[in-house]
Amino acid sequence: MKVNGIPTRTIRALDDGTAVEIIDQTLLPYRFEKRVLSDWRDCVEAIDVMRVRGAPLIGITGAWAVVLATKENPENAALIKAAEQIQNVRPTAVNLSWAVQRMLAALLPRDPSLRFPAAVKLAEAMTQEDVMLSRAIGDAGYGLIAELYRKLRRPVNILTHCNAGWLATVDYGTALAPIYFAFERGTPVHVWVDETRPRNQGLLTAWELGQQGVPHTIIADNAGGELMQKGAVDMVIVGADRITRRGDVANKIGTYLKALAAKDNEIPFYVAAPSSTIDWKLNDGKREIPIENRSASEVLSLRGIDRSGEVATVQLASPNESAANPAFDVTHNRFITGIITERGVFFAHQPCCSLPGSDCKCRTLRNLR
């Protein structure tokens, strides 16, 4: 997508893969600054403190971290040890472990002396693949927005939570991709943007939408239910960090509450994600998806800019307060209308799939496998 009119991606390789350049998202929306990472440990730090964030993007960053680890030492022991540290930085998004394991599976059978160029080639292919996946998700989701517009004959009001835009991927995004496609194709939309405490990724979403000229309004996380009850929300589209084979979805904390409110107000609730976000090993999301617990300080403080325009953190709570900070929650498939993937819109488990010997071809997730 564009930043000040210039096509920009969140990550790109430099110097034949011996370094990568990222956007430091801890400075957005106040400052747009890029950062060069030339050591795999810098990639680990960038994922941990969320200079890069968003399930697909941390996966791609993990892939490039494996490239840099291979550059440093392509021998099995060192590479496997580095990969272990890379994939364990953040546990909830399946994309990180998926990307690291995909790199290892391609590299370990090779002679160590040939691993670095192979790693660069695969990481580059995965980076391009992510862009294509986001575009396909945008196309698939656009149809849902266009269909709603045909019924409403007025701008479609879409609520989104956190940031699942191009900043969460290499380009285009997941939940925001259908919105960008609709806007670019002349279907009028307006986006309600949840601020998304405690890290306020909604400010990234607002910044992204503003850069593309998409109408939007920032709201407090707790305002979504009221807007839904007042008929101001026509659909919800959010991203995902991990989806189980029955369609339970882990996403940013607060997603579950929006899904409850949408169900109660009979508002379609869609999740947008590449099919690589589906963890086929898991079934019951609430029981099986690991939820990242982040530092209490993120809840007890707030990032912004001070009077001099410097990015600063201010203490919100009185000293010595304690806080719980689960970074994700899980929404059961019964609250999800559909999952927008690069291969079209799929649905959670349907009764027909349970019939003995059923080989139904309905668009349930299992037919995505």
Ligand X SMILES: CSC[C@H]1O[C@H](OP(=O)(O)O)[C@H](O)[C@@H]1O
Report if residue 55 touches ligand X, rule: CB under 6 A: yes
Report if residue 87 touches ligand X, rule: CB under 6 A: no
Q: Per the annotation, does 252 bind a ligand? A: yes
Q: Per the annotation, does 177 bind a ligand? A: no
- The distance of closest approach from Cβ of residue 169 to ligand X in the complex, given in angstroms and rounded to an integer, is 6
Report if residue 174 touches ligand X, rule: CB under 6 A: yes
Binding residue (CB under 6 A) for ligand X from 141, 202, 239, 247: 239
- The distance of closest approach from Cβ of residue 327 to ligand X in the complex, given in angstroms and rounded to an integer, is 5
- The distance of closest approach from Cβ of residue 162 to ligand X in the complex, given in angstroms and rounded to an integer, is 4
Task: Return the number of the residue (70 or 205) whose C-beta is nearest ligand X.
Answer: 205
* Alpha carbon 81 to chain centroid, angstroms: 26
Which residues, 246 to 285, sit near ligand X by CB under 6 A? 251-252
Structure tokens at 174: 């997941």
Which residues, 309 to 328, sit near ligand X by CB under 6 A? 327
**DSSP labels, 75-91:** SHHHHHHHHHHHHTSSS
Separation of alpha carbons 234 and 223, rounded Å: 15
Task: Return the number of the residue (55 or 126) whose C-beta is nearest ligand X.
Answer: 55
Instruction: Give how far Cα 317 sits from Cα of 49, 306, 310, 369, Å.
Output: 21, 18, 21, 47
Residue number, nearest CB to ligand X: 239
Residue keyed to tokens 């490039």: 64
Report if residue 241 touches ligand X, rule: CB under 6 A: yes
Q: What is the side-by-side order of every strand in the sheet holding 216-219?
A: 216-219, 189-194, 156-160, 235-238, 269-272, 338-341, 344-346
Tell me if 257 sits within 8 A of 346, measured CB to CB: no
Task: Return the number of the residue (325 or 350) whose C-beta is nearest ligand X.
Answer: 325
Residues contacting ligand X: total by CB under 6 A: 16
- The distance of closest approach from Cβ of residue 15 to ligand X in the complex, given in angstroms and rounded to an integer, is 27
Catalytic annotation, residues: 241
Report if residue 53 touches ligand X, rule: CB under 6 A: yes
Separation of alpha carbons 220 and 161, rounded Å: 11
Contacts within 8 Å (CB) and 24+ apart, 81-90: 82/40, 85/44, 86/40, 86/43, 86/44, 86/47, 86/62, 87/62, 89/44, 89/47, 89/48, 89/58, 89/62, 90/47, 90/48, 90/58, 90/292
Known binding-site residue numbers: 53-55, 90, 201, 251-252
Contacts to ligand X by CB under 6 A: 53-56, 162, 164, 168-169, 174, 201, 238-239, 241, 251-252, 327
- Binding-site residues for substrate sit at 53-55, 90, 201, 251-252
